[in-house]
C-alpha cells in the first residue's frame, strides 16, 4: 500500500515494491540495477544508540497467535505526545476487547523500545511481575479468568524512542524532519513492520479495532491531521495543542501521526450517490499554488472510482491527504503524499491517485491474509492505467500497461495458499513474489477484464470491495477478502468456473506460452502451461486487418488463413503470456555495464 511510482512515469506506481529490503526493487527499476547493492545495506538498521528491532517486531502477519485469536478488538483510545527535542514519543492506550473464548492472558504486540511502563486491567493497576515484553509481544497475566463474551479493558502506559525509518515508507518507523524554515515536519509509517512500532495492537490484517479515538499532543504552533473526523482541538496553558480524532474500522497499519505547521485547503464533493464528502489537503506553508493544483485532482479522481467501483467508503468521515517528509502511504482518510508535485505525461499525479485508490483496495477491502495482497496492490496498480483509459482513451492505457509489462518477473507464485507474513510477500530473499503482486497482478486483471467483459469485470470488483452488488452510502462496512472469495465472485457473476485462469496466473510462477505454427494455409495455436495445467484461453488473431476471436477450449486451435496473409496474434496485447522480447530486455538490464 505504499507506492512505487517510477521516477519517470506514473505508470510505475508501486515500483518500489513495498519497503525495507524492497528498496532494492525500486532502485533496480529506476537505475537499471546499478545502485541496488549499495541500497540494501541501509535497510532496517537502527540509528546509532537505538536498540534494534526484534524479529518479532519486524514480523507482521502470518499465522495468528492462539491467544490473540481469542480477542475481538472493540475500541482503542490512543493518546500520543510528540517530543521533538528528545525525539521521543509518550503514549497511553486504552484497549477494549471482547473474549471470543475464555481468557486468562492478553497477548498484544508492542515494540519493546516503547516499554510499557505501567498496565491496568479494568482500571486496577497490575504489579510489574504480571506483564513482560522481552521480544515485542507483550504478555499480560489477567487478574481473573474472563468468560466468552465478557469485556476486558487494558490501559497501557508506554513510551520511549520509536524506531526511526531509514528510508520511509519502504522502511517503517517515524520521520523526524524539518520544514524549510526549520520547524518540525514529522510523520509515521507502519505497513511493513506493523502497528506495534507505534502503539499496542494486534499486528495482523484481521486485527482491526472497531473504532479508534486519537488524542495527539503537539508543540505550540503545529497541527496534527490524522484519521477520521476531527472532534476538536484543545489548547493547553503552555500553548501546546491536543488534536482529537475518531475513525471507524481502521486498517491495522492505517493509524498515522503527522505534525507540521500545516496550512489546509478544504472543499466538498457532491457524490453521484447523493452524499456530500468533505475533502481536505494539509500542506506546508509556501506551497499554496502547487497544493491547489493537486487538490483540483481530488474530485475527478473520486468520480472515477465511484463511477467504476462504487461509493467512497469513508464519506461520512472525510477524504484527507497530508503532505509528508516521505513518499506516500494509504493511511485511511489521511493518505500520505510526498511526491513533490511532480508532473507526469498521464496528466495526473500517480502517487496521489495510487494511495487514494487504496481507500477501496486496502482500507474498505482488506486482505485477510498477506498471501492475498494482490487484491490491494494488483488492483490498485491496475487502476492507474484504468484511470488513464477513463481520462484519455486507449493510447494512454496501452502505454501505461506496456510499461508495467516490462517489470513482471515470474519468479514466485503470487498466491501460495498458506498464512504468510508481510516479509514473505515483499522480500525476494524470503521467497516473496515482490513487485509481481503489483505488475503481474495488474496484467492479470487486464486480461480478466477482456475475458469477462467490462460489465462483469466491474461487477466482480464491486462484490469483492463491498461484499454486495448494490453498495450505497450507509449499507456497507469495511470487510476482509481473499483469493478464494474472489474466484467465487467471478463464478457468481459469470456463471462459469474460471479456476483454470487463477491456477495459472496466481498459483504458478511461469506464464503460459502460446506456441504458433503456420504451415501453408493453416495456423495452429497451442497453449503451453506450467505443470500442463488446462488453459482454455481464447485469443484474438488479426488476419489482413480483420480481427477474429479464436476460442481454444482444449488449449489448442487450428484456423485457415490465406497463404499470403499477414497474421498478427493478440494484436492488442489482451492476454498476459510469455514474451521472449521482454525476457531478452530484462536480461539486458541485468548485464553489467
CB 40 within 8 A of CB 21: yes
Structure confidence at residue 431 as a pLDDT band (50, 70, 90): confident
pLDDT reported for residue 47: 58
pLDDT confidence of residue 430: 79
Residue with cell 497453449: 527
* Cα 581 to the center of its chain, rounded Å: 31
Q: How confident is the model at residue 49 (pLDDT cuts 50, 70, 90)?
A: low
pLDDT classification of 162: cutoffs 50, 70, 90: very high
Over residues 72-90, the mean pLDDT reads: 97
Q: What is the pLDDT of residues 219-238, one digit of tens each?
A: 999 999 999 999 999 999 99
- Residue 146: per-residue pLDDT: 98
| 593 band by pLDDT with thresholds 50, 70 and 90 | low
How far is residue 374's CA from residue 381's CA, in Å, rounded to a whole number? 9
b (16+ CB within 10 A) / e for 185-222: bbbbbbbbbbbbbbbbbbbbbbbbbbbbbbbbbbbeeb
Measured between alpha carbons, how far apart are the two ends of the chain, in Å? 33
CA dihedral 476, 478, 479, 483 (to 10 degrees): 110
Q: Residue 48: what pLDDT? A: 54
Portion of the chain with pLDDT greater than 90, in percent:
86
pLDDT in tens, 376-392: 999 999 999 999 999 99
Predicted local distance difference test score (pLDDT) of residue 2: 47
How far is Cα of residue 186 from the mean position of the Cα atoms in its chain? 21
Res. 15: pLDDT tops 50 = no
Polymer length in residues for the chain: 593
DSSP track, 7-50:
TTBGGGTTTT-SSGGGHHHHHHHHHTTTTHHHHHTTTTPPPTTP
pLDDT tens digits, 400-426? 999 999 999 999 999 999 999 888 898
The band of 12, judged by pLDDT with boundaries at 50, 70 and 90, is very low
Which of 280, 278, 282 is CA-nearest to residue 269? 278
Instruction: Please tell me the predicted confidence (pLDDT) of residue 423.
Output: 85
Report the pLDDT value the prediction gives residue 137, as an integer from 0 to 100: 97
Cα–Cα distance for residue pair 329/337, rounded to 1 Å: 7
- Split at pLDDT 50, 70, 90, the class of 34 is very low
8-state DSSP, 315: T
Question: Which residue blocks in 453-531 are alpha helix, DSSP H?
Answer: 454-466, 483-494, 499-505
Pick 521 or 429 by higher pLDDT: 521
- Cα 309 to its chain centre, rounded Å, is 17
Q: What is the pLDDT of residues 453-479, one digit of tens each?
A: 999 999 999 999 999 999 999 999 999
What pLDDT is attached to residue 21? 32
Instruction: Provide the angle, in degrees to the nearest 10, between the axes of the packed helices 436-452 and 483-494.
Output: 10
Query: For 245-271, what is the mean pLDDT?
Result: 97
C-alpha–C-alpha distance, residues 353 and 380, integer Å: 9
Task: Count CA within 13 A, CB hemisphere, residue 541.
Answer: 21
Q: What cell was used for 92?
A: 497511553
| Alpha-carbon gap, residue 98 to 186, rounded angstroms | 34
Give the model confidence (pLDDT) of 168-211 as tens digits. 988 899 999 999 999 999 999 999 899 999 999 999 999 999 99
Q: Which of 30-39, 161-170, 278-287 has the weakest average pLDDT?
A: 30-39
Residue 36 has pLDDT above 50, yes or no: no
Average pLDDT of 424-436?
86
Q: Which three cell numbers stand for residue 409?
A: 518477473
pLDDT at 18: 35
Which residues lie closer than 8 Å to 353 by C-beta, 6 or more apart? 10, 13, 297, 301, 383, 384, 387
Q: Please write the tens of the pLDDT for every residue from 348-374.
A: 999 999 999 999 999 999 999 999 999
Contacts with 31 (C-beta within 8 Å, 6 or more apart), sequence order:
none
Q: What is the pLDDT of the chain when averaged over all its residues?
A: 91
* Helices and strands (H and E) in the chain: how many: 14, 27
- Written as one string, the DSSP assignment of 182-235 is S-EEEEEE-TTT-GGGTSSB--STT---SEEEEEEEE-TT-B---SSEEEEEEE
Sign, CA dihedral 266-170-51-117, equals positive
- The number of angstroms, rounded, from the C-alpha of 419 to the middle of its chain's C-alpha atoms is 18
What is the residue whose three cell numbers read 508532473? 343
Q: Angle, nearest 10°, between helix axes 298-308 and 350-357?
A: 40
What is the rounded distance in angstroms from the CA atom of residue 25 to the CA atom of residue 90?
35
Cα–Cα distance measured from residue 387 to residue 405, given in angstroms and rounded to the nearest whole number? 17
Q: Using 50, 70 and 90 to split pLDDT, how confident is the model at 46?
A: low
C-beta of residue 177 within 8 angstroms of C-beta of residue 325 = yes
Burial class of residue 85 in the structure, from the number of CB atoms within 10 Å of its CB (0-12 exposed, 13-18 middle, 19+ buried): exposed
Amino acid at each position: 500500500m505504499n507506492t512505487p511510482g517510477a521516477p519517470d512515469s506514473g505508470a510505475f506506481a508501486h515500483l518500489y515494491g513495498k519497503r525495507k529490503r524492497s528498496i532494492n526493487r525500486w532502485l533496480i527499476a529506476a537505475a537499471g540495477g546499478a545502485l541496488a547493492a549499495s541500497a540494501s545495506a541501509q535497510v532496517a538498521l537502527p540509528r546509532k544508540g537505538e536498540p534494534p528491532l526484534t524479529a518479532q517486531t519486524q514480523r507482521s502477519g502470518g499465522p495468528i497467535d492462539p491467544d490473540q485469536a481469542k480477542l475481538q478488538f472493540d475500541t482503542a483510545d490512543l493518546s500520543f505526545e510528540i517530543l521533538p527535542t528528545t525525539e521521543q514519543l509518550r503514549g497511553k492506550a486504552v484497549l477494549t476487547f471482547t473474549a471470543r473464548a475464555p481468557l486468562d492472558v492478553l497477548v498484544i504486540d508492542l515494540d519493546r523500545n516503547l516499554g510499557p511502563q505501567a498496565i491496568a486491567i479494568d482500571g486496577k493497576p497490575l504489579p510489574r511481575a504480571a506483564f513482560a515484553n522481552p521480544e515485542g509481544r507483550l504478555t499480560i497475566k489477567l487478574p481473573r479468568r474472563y468468560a466468552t463474551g465478557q469485556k476486558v479493558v487494558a490501559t497501557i502506559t508506554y513510551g520511549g524512542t520509536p524506531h526511526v525509518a531509514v528510508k520511509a515508507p519502504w522502511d517503517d518507523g517515524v520521520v523526524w524532519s524539518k520544514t524549510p524554515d526549520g520547524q518540525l515536519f514529522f510523520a509515521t509509517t507502519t505497513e511493513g513492520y506493523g502497528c506495534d512500532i507505534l502503539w499496542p495492537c494486534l499486528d495482523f490484517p484481521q486485527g482491526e479495532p472497531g473504532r479508534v479515538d486519537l488524542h495527539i499532543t503537539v508543540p505550540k504552533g503545529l497541527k496534527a491531521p490524522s484519521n477520521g473526523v476531527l472532534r476538536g482541538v484543545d489548547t493547553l496553558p503552555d500553548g501546546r495543542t491536543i488534536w482529537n480524532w475518531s475513525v471507524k474500522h481502521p486498517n491495522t497499519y492505517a493509524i498515522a501521526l503527522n505534525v507540521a505547521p500545516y496550512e489546509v485547503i478544504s472543499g466538498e464533493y457532491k457524490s453521484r450517490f447523493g452524499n456530500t464528502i468533505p475533502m481536505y489537503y494539509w500542506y506546508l506553508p509556501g506551497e499554496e499554488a502547487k497544493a491547489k493544483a493537486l487538490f483540483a485532482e481530488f474530485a475527478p479522481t473520486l468520480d472515477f472510482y465511484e463511477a467504476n467501483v462504487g461509493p467512497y467508503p469513508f464519506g461520512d468521515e472525510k477524504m484527507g491527504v497530508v503532505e509528508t517528509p516521505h513518499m506516500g502511504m494509504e493511511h485511511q482518510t489521511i493518505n500520505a503524499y510526498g511526491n513533490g508535485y511532480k508532473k507526469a505525461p498521464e496528466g495526473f499525479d500517480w502517487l496521489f491517485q495510487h494511495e487514494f485508490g487504496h481507500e477501496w483496495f486496502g482500507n474498505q477491502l482488506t486482505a485477510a491474509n498477506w498471501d492475498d495482497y494482490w487484491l490491494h496492490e494488483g488492483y490498485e496498480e491496475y487502476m492507474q492505467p484504468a484511470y488513464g483509459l477513463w481520462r484519455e482513451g486507449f493510447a494512454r492505457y496501452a502505454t501505461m500497461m506496456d510499461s508495467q509489462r516490462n517489470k513482471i518477473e515470474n519468479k514466485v507464485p503470487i498466491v501460495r495458499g498458506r498464512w504468510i507474513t508481510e516479509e514473505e510477500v515483499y522480500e525476494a530473499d524470503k521467497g516473496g513474489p515482490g513487485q509481481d503482486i503489483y505488475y503481474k497482478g495488474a496484467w492479470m486483471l487486464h486480461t480478466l477484464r477482456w475475458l469477462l467483459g467490462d460489465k462483469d469485470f466491474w461487477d466482480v470488483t464491486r462484490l469483492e470491495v463491498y461484499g454486495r452488488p448494490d453498495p450505497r452510502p450507509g449499507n456497507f462496512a469495511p470487510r476482509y477478502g481473499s483469493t478464494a472469495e474472489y474466484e467465487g465472485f467471478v463464478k457468481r457473476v459469470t456463471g462459469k468456473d474460471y479456476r483454470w485462469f487463477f491456477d495459472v496466473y496466481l498459483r504458478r510462477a511461469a506464464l503460459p506460452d502460446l506456441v504458433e505454427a503456420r504451415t501453408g494455409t493453416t495456423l495452429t495455436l497451442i497453449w503451453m502451461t506450467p505443470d500442463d495445467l488446462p488453459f482454455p484461453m481464447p485469443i484474438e488473431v488479426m488476419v489482413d486487418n480483420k480481427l477474429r476471436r479464436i476460442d481454444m477450449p482444449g488449449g489448442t486451435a487450428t484456423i485457415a488463413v490465406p497463404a499470403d496473409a499477414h497474421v498478427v496474434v493478440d494484436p492488442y496485447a489482451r492476454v498476459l503470456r510469455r514474451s521472449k522480447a521482454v525476457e531478452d530486455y530484462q536480461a539486458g538490464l541485468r548485464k553489467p555495464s
